[in-house]
A = this chain, B = another copy of it.
Amino acid sequence: MTRPARSADTMPPSAAQLEDVLDAVRRDGGRVTRQRRLVIEIFFDQARWVTAAELVELVRPRWAGVNESTAYRILELLESLGHARHTHLGHGPAYWHRAGGDGHPLFCDRCGVVLSMPRAWLEPAVDRARDELGFEVDLDHFAWSGSCAACR
């Protein structure tokens, strides 16, 4: 059995995650097209949250022919596979980021930086919503915005 030049566990995290995701796409019956490979790779490289339009801009230098609707479809696919999530920061377009962090995102709406807040800090509020209102909060579908230390 021949090992590939670099096995997944020696690859940089984003490259390993990329291969995982492409496998998941195939397992789902999807095809790994040039657009998908490129868009997903660049998407996973971003530390920041990006809009669909920004993602297309980031892809453009490597391949100008990727359409915005394709980017939307790829992001939607990633989200359905649990590898991306999006949130709306008020007005304007949605912002996307790879899934997988333990923390909850805090977006600075001035500079776009993303901090993480430990999930545990939110548990009391989530518990009270459930116990006193019967409301089960879906923590994976929200984000908080505000301003970071550097911007204040």
How often does this chain occur in the complex, in copies? Answer: 2
Contact A144 B146 (CB under 8 A): no
| Residues of chain A in range 83-105 having any CB-CB distance to chain B below 8 Å | 87-91
How many angstroms from the CA of A149 to the CA of B129 in the assembled complex?
Answer: 10
- Closest beta carbon of chain B to A99's beta carbon, Å: 16
Q: Interface 1/0s, chain A 39-51, versus B by CB < 8 A?
A: 0000000000000
Task: Determine whether A147 belongs to the interface, using a CB cutoff of 8 Å to chain B.
Answer: yes
Point out the residues of chain B lying under 8 angstroms from A138, CB to CB.
109, 144-147
Nearest B-chain residue to A122, judged by Cβ: B125
Contact B148 A134 (CB under 8 A): yes
Partner of A129, one of B121, B128, B141: B121
Task: Determine whether A32 belongs to the interface, using a CB cutoff of 8 Å to chain B.
Answer: no
Task: Determine whether A108 belongs to the interface, using a CB cutoff of 8 Å to chain B.
Answer: yes
User: Which residues of A does B touch, CB under 8 Å?
Assistant: 87-91, 106, 108-109, 115, 117, 121-122, 124-125, 128-129, 133-139, 141-149, 152
